Structure 1
Amino acid sequence: MHNIPKVKMGIVAVSRGCFPLELSRSRLQRVLAACRQSKIKVIACKTIVRTDAEALKAAQEMIAEGVNAATIYLGNFGPEAPIAILAERLGMPCMLCGAAEESKADLLGGRGDAYCGMLNASLNCGLRQVRPYIPAQPVRLPEEIVPLIKDFMTIARVIIGVRALKIFSFGPRPEDFYACHAPLAPLYRLGVEGMENSELDLLQRYQAAGSRRQEIAAIAQDMADELGPGNCFPRKLKALAQFELALLSFLKDNLGARSFGVFANKCWPAFQPAFGFVPCYVNSRLARRGIPVACEVDIYGALSEYLAQLAVQQPVTLLDINNTVPQDIEITDFRGASRADIFMGFHCGNTPSCHLLPGYKMHYQLIMRRNLEPDSAPNISCGTLEGRLVPGPLTLLRVQSTLDGELHGYLAEGQILDVDPVSFGGIGIIAIPQFNRFYRHILLEKQFPHHTACAFEHSGRMLFEALSLLKIDPIHTPRQAGDRYPTENPFAD
């Protein structure tokens, strides 16, 4: 997938001076053999770290190899200070893990005590304000280290991607849309860069792209091929293609020192009269190629989408947590939720076609048409991608600044139901167990906005670890029945 980093994993073995060096070396070789068998590519450091000098040497070696994430492997007790120095000097996502004892036949000369050494290594990292990833069960046999490395590659990809991200925004928030407020300081603390622009900048870029006729024609043809019979307004394709070209060229020209980019763009109310269309379909196409475009200048929505995309390596979308489901829509399987827990996830038309059922179409935005051209045929309100969300698993994610500039977030896993929502837009009926309580005591109580990023698989496990490493705290999740939220009335039925 485009617009995400490739993780190049290194592994460094460490050894405490009073333990046999060969114990760490031989255990490392067994981990490497297990990685090869599982086709997990790792680059082994030639230096086994025992001292602070060797920590610096190993860090230089790994950086020279182009490694951007590292597994620090305690083949025995390990040297606590050099471990922390190594993690600090690497300056990249690091995982601490260690070797479990393998047989009762070798608990004299071959006992490594990594279980004990992990405690000291963790403490020393804390003293130096280094934050490594430590798995739930970090001391394992060689073949059991492999899935830890595989998981860590996902977590590292999220960290690396965020630290190389630039969010481009166009325009201020629409009037009376305070929910999309975006304090910049928390973004900078994450390592995210931003570039705020006027809608006039976007209009000028769009107009300048008009001379690139061959490229516009090729994009318009690609749109027609994607839409097929759902191309309800073919006359709009040229303008939409020109807009897509304008956004892509702006991204290319303005990444600067950053490697990856996403957008948070204003899309109403002045946009339609100025550009002559709504941009939702173009937003969906960019999202499909790995460039999320958050609606309504939702900068933290764009960040949330990108976090989800980094975890799943698939296109994502932004949805409104939008409306309740009428009782007369028949549902026979709530997938572990209750009727009170279901809702419709909706947006005007920005969801990539790969996540919509066959029959999607490029249409007009019903609400905008009512306001902008109620008495004429659809024109400037055209440009949405409408269809039902593909049934299946999903993860909802939002990272947001609080009103006092601290980062918090939420994660929730559920299902898109195979039920017709009987409505417009990119839309689906979503079931998340215990969501009714989560909605009241987290989303409302903690003042989260109405936009949520949506990944189309269950990815909460890896995202929780990545958000924790990014120091996003708290990370709210739905509580099980009987586990009350602090604001839940203990005397209520």
Structure 2
Amino acid sequence: MKKLKLGYAPTRRFTFSAEDAFKYKVQIRKQIESFGMDIDIVDLEGLNPEGLLYDDHMNADLITQRFKEEEVDAVFFPHCNFGTEDTVARVGKALGKPVLLWGPRDEAPLEDGMRLRDTQCGIFATGKVLRRFGVPFTYVTNSWVNDPVFERGFTNFIAAANVVRQFKSLRILQIGPRPASFWTMICNEGELLERFGIEIHPITLVDIQSRSKKIESSGSSELLEVIDYIKEKLDVSEVTEGDIRRIAALKVAMKSYAQETHSSAIAIQCWSSLQEAMSIMPCLANAILTDEQIPVTCETDIHGAITSIIVQAAAMNEHPTFFADITVRHPENDNGELLFHCGNFPVSLSVEQKPRLRKHFLFDDHAPGTHEGEIRGGSMSIARFDGDHGDYSIFLGRAKGIQGPYTRGSYVWVEVNDWPLWEEKLVKGPYVHHSVGIHANVIPAIYEACNYIPGLTADPVDPTEQEIQSWLRGSDLVRKTSASTHA
């Protein structure tokens, strides 16, 4: 996947110190590079002698042209002094990309009473003009360049922008129709395309069966690599060599279709026609692909696949997701719940040195292909994109792993803040029993991303919307600083 490209457009105004603005342009660039994010930065160097956006009407066209030619995914307008609000707004409007607005705190006035920058005042002006132009934007509290709240806000914005760019170019490979009895998996393909630009590329189970058989008999290097991976990472004592080869061939076939169709995620009808046709379950193949950042959802869950991409992108594609049923309450912990699926959680998340490759324990055919075992706990984010009657939202909540009884399949027991509240929200909808988890805090990034996706509403249960906003403002950091000062 290509790196996210950030347009860097530091701005100043002629009435304040050009020298100080240039100094801060350099300092801010060094600071954001120190955050260690794997992004490309496109700046304004060469467009004018200063590499700054200032009150020159030609500036807006030149800057817009550069950022469009470089195909930036988001743009950052740090105010190095008061800034030039009209040019910022023109560029932001022309690009139509996520916008970050921030400026470094102003130093004390000079001894003669003069002020060099008035950055905060300029931010107020730009915020108003961006609203006039109808440009949605993210704002980070006016703070020092090395302040933790700036790092928090900047990195969260980049993650949000990554969600937006992947959501708006989303294509899902659909392998087979939904299981007939799973009405919960009904989705409106036309509406997803019209509302969000999300494309579905359908193929049949016959297509995947045919390609898998060709790969199985080919002895290709990719097939052999997957076979070696399965034998190295899993306990395969309960299955045959033929089973392993068919599972590996299915994985290779699914990936090849995803690459050919430029699909970011896959939704597959995992039962029961596939078992009858190929004598395997696809669970382990799903798990391996999900570990490779091509998330696969079960039971042709299109909305689940969309959720997976949102969650994965919010973690900057640095962590694998896991696709789970929200299944049963913990037998002893009233805020505990079982996240489970038949055997599709990424192998990298397993707590066992060699999780078992087994036959399915629910279906009569007991076809092999389920990767079973508990995955690691710790802090997690749980999400679900869904909708009905033309309204779409994304459920967001925090969970942490806890001890719980053994169960078959891939699983983890978690504890949440208020399970009855979660249950009520999930039952009343528009959500279903499927969710996506990740071992990362992606909730603030997804919340912010929804500001740039018309028609999608963030629906957080924990933390609340007010708590997310407070965290983004850095109110907790202000309280710590204030307490330390008073102490």
Taking structure 2 as the reference length, what is the TM-score of the superposition? 0.85
State the 1:37 CA deviation. 5.0
1:122 aligns with 2:127: yes
Mapped partners of 1:459, 1:181: distance in 2 = 27
1:363 aligns with 2:370: no
Mapped partners of 2:2, 2:139: distance in 1 = 22
Q: Is the 8 A contact 1:159 1:470 kept in 2?
A: yes
Q: Is the 8 A contact 1:233 1:363 kept in 2?
A: no
Residue 220 (structure 1) aligned to one of 217, 227, 237: 227
Mapped partners of 1:153, 1:165: distance in 2 = 18
Residue 431 (structure 1) aligned to one of 415, 438, 457: 415
State the 1:9 CA deviation. 2.7
Q: Could you say which residue in structure 1 is the equivalent of 2:91?
A: 86
Q: Root-mean-square deviation (CA), in Å?
A: 2.5
- Structure 1 residues 27-38: aligned runs within 5 Å: 27-36=24-33, 38=35
Q: Could you say which residue in structure 2 is the equivalent of 1:451?
A: 434
1:410 aligns with 2:395: yes
Mapped partners of 2:113, 2:121: distance in 1 = 16
Deviations 1:390-437 (A, max 9, x none): 121111011112x212220111111111x2422100012110111222
User: In structure 2, do the counterparts of structure 1 residues 117 and 104 end up closer, same or farther at CA, with 3 Å as the change threshold?
Assistant: closer
User: In structure 2, do the counterparts of structure 1 residues 106 and 48 end up closer, same or farther at CA, with 3 Å as the change threshold?
Assistant: farther
Q: Which amino acid aligns with 1:388?
A: E
Q: Is the 8 A contact 1:263 1:294 kept in 2?
A: yes
Q: Which amino acid aligns with 2:344?
A: N
- Structure 1 residues 34-183: aligned runs within 5 Å: 34-36=31-33, 38=35, 42-46=41-45, 47-49=51-53, 50-65=55-70, 67-105=72-110, 108-135=113-140, 137=141, 139-144=142-147, 145-183=150-188
Mapped partners of 2:111, 2:270: distance in 1 = 67
Mapped partners of 1:160, 1:283: distance in 2 = 24
User: Partner of 2:412: helix, strand, or coil?
Assistant: strand
State the 1:146 CA deviation. 4.5
1:289 aligns with 2:301: no
State the 1:147 CA deviation. 4.5
Deviations 1:435-456 (A, max 9, x none): 222211x111223111000002
**Range 88-97 or range 403-412, more displaced:** 88-97
State the 1:341 CA deviation. 1.4
User: Partner of 1:326: helix, strand, or coil?
Assistant: coil
Q: Which amino acid aligns with 2:276?
A: P
Q: Which amino acid aligns with 2:419?
A: F
Q: Could you say which residue in structure 1 is the equivalent of 2:260?
A: 253
State the 1:188 CA deviation. 4.7
1:266 aligns with 2:249: no
Mapped partners of 1:107, 1:365: distance in 2 = 80
Mapped partners of 1:22, 1:189: distance in 2 = 47
Q: Is the 8 A contact 1:169 1:264 kept in 2?
A: yes
Q: Could you say which residue in structure 2 is the equivalent of 1:298?
A: 301
Deviations 1:134-176 (A, max 9, x none): 23x2x22222344433332222222222223211112221122
Q: Is the 8 A contact 1:165 1:193 kept in 2?
A: yes
User: In structure 2, do the counterparts of structure 1 residues 431 and 206 end up closer, same or farther at CA, with 3 Å as the change threshold?
Assistant: same
User: Partner of 1:194: helix, strand, or coil?
Assistant: strand
Mapped partners of 1:37, 1:201: distance in 2 = 48
State the 1:24 CA deviation. 2.7
1:390 aligns with 2:376: yes
Q: Is the 8 A contact 2:286 2:344 kept in 1?
A: yes
Mapped partners of 1:420, 1:353: distance in 2 = 20
Deviations 1:231-253 (A, max 9, x none): 64443011111111211111222
Note the residue ranges of structure 1 that are not aligned, 5 or more in a row. 328-338, 484-493
Percent identical among aligned pairs is: 20
Q: Is the 8 A contact 2:73 2:98 kept in 1?
A: yes
Mapped partners of 1:404, 1:397: distance in 2 = 20
**Range 167-176 or range 456-465, more displaced:** 456-465
Q: Could you say which residue in structure 2 is the equivalent of 1:205?
A: 211
State the 1:214 CA deviation. 2.8
Note the residue ranges of structure 2 that are not aligned, 5 or more in a row. 46-50, 468-487
Mapped partners of 1:230, 1:69: distance in 2 = 50
Mapped partners of 1:435, 1:111: distance in 2 = 53
Mapped partners of 2:79, 2:197: distance in 1 = 30
The number of equivalent residue pairs is 449
User: Partner of 1:14: helix, strand, or coil?
Assistant: coil
Mapped partners of 2:374, 2:176: distance in 1 = 30
Q: Is the 8 A contact 1:388 1:420 kept in 2?
A: no
Q: Is the 8 A contact 1:5 1:160 kept in 2?
A: no
**Range 153-162 or range 443-452, more displaced:** 153-162
Q: Could you say which residue in structure 1 is the equivalent of 2:476?
A: none
Q: Is the 8 A contact 2:136 2:451 kept in 1?
A: no
User: In structure 2, do the counterparts of structure 1 residues 106 and 463 end up closer, same or farther at CA, with 3 Å as the change threshold?
Assistant: farther
Q: Could you say which residue in structure 1 is the equivalent of 2:6?
A: 9
Q: Is the 8 A contact 1:389 1:416 kept in 2?
A: no
Residue 202 (structure 2) aligned to one of 168, 193, 196: 196
Q: Which amino acid aligns with 1:365?
A: H
User: Partner of 1:368: helix, strand, or coil?
Assistant: coil
Mapped partners of 1:478, 1:33: distance in 2 = 35
Deviations 1:154-212 (A, max 9, x none): 22222222223211112221122111122232355334322122223323332343442
Q: Is the 8 A contact 1:220 1:237 kept in 2?
A: yes
State the 1:384 CA deviation. 0.5
User: In structure 2, do the counterparts of structure 1 residues 108 and 253 end up closer, same or farther at CA, with 3 Å as the change threshold?
Assistant: same
User: In structure 2, do the counterparts of structure 1 residues 72 and 291 end up closer, same or farther at CA, with 3 Å as the change threshold?
Assistant: same
State the 1:39 CA deviation. 5.1
Q: Is the 8 A contact 2:344 2:371 kept in 1?
A: yes
User: In structure 2, do the counterparts of structure 1 residues 119 and 231 end up closer, same or farther at CA, with 3 Å as the change threshold?
Assistant: farther
**Range 202-211 or range 263-272, more displaced:** 202-211
Q: Could you say which residue in structure 1 is the equivalent of 2:385?
A: 399
Q: Is the 8 A contact 1:71 1:149 kept in 2?
A: no
State the 1:309 CA deviation. 1.2
Q: Which amino acid aligns with 2:249?
A: Q
State the 1:283 CA deviation. 0.1
